[in-house]
Amino acid sequence: MNATMTHEAFLSASVRSEARGSGAVWGTPLTLLRLEGAAALVGATLAYSSLGGRWPVFALLFLLPDLSMLGYLVDRRIGAACYNAAHSYLGPALLGAFGMTLSGHGALGVACIWVAHVGFDRLLGYGLKYGTSFGDTHLGRRGGRTP
């Protein structure tokens, strides 16, 4: 029993060490980042609802940021840059500010959908990409290792 516990402790330490060495977030900070994603998803969805947004439009546009993955057809660096541009909160924040400046409910609604998408991805553990591989993200490694 003691040997098993020692082996489990060793494996846990190995995982933590690998995560630290990769620059990935792990442990409680990772949990908090995922919960922040959930909060963004819920908050943006509620904001969209309060704007009187139409749900078919929400459903249609929700996955639109994922088209940015087409950049990976060119190469990993361009794919990561396209993905990160579409999966950062900066774009929807700018769009939302623009919409508020012009009192444009349409821009605000699209910004809410965009934030909801990014929050959903963060909740699932999909983070901003590094140019090394699609699975290398700021939230840790996703999927199998790709060359």
The one-letter amino acid code at 137 reads T
pLDDT of residue 142: 79
Please enumerate in sequence order all residues whose Cβ is within 8 A of that of 25, keeping only pairs 6 or more positions apart, or say none.
19, 33, 138, 139, 140
pLDDT of residue 4: 52
What is d(CA 4, CA 88) in angstroms, rounded to the nearest whole number? 42
pLDDT in single tens digits along all 147 residues of the chain = 455 555 444 434 444 545 555 567 889 999 999 999 999 999 999 999 999 999 999 999 999 999 999 999 999 999 999 999 999 999 999 999 999 999 988 999 999 999 999 999 999 999 999 999 889 998 888 765 544
> What pLDDT score was predicted for residue 10?
41
* Torsion angle, alpha carbons of 93, 35, 27, 12, to 10: -130
Spans of all domains in the chain: 25-141
pTM, two decimal places: 0.83
Angle between helices 105-124 and 28-50 in degrees, nearest 10: 150
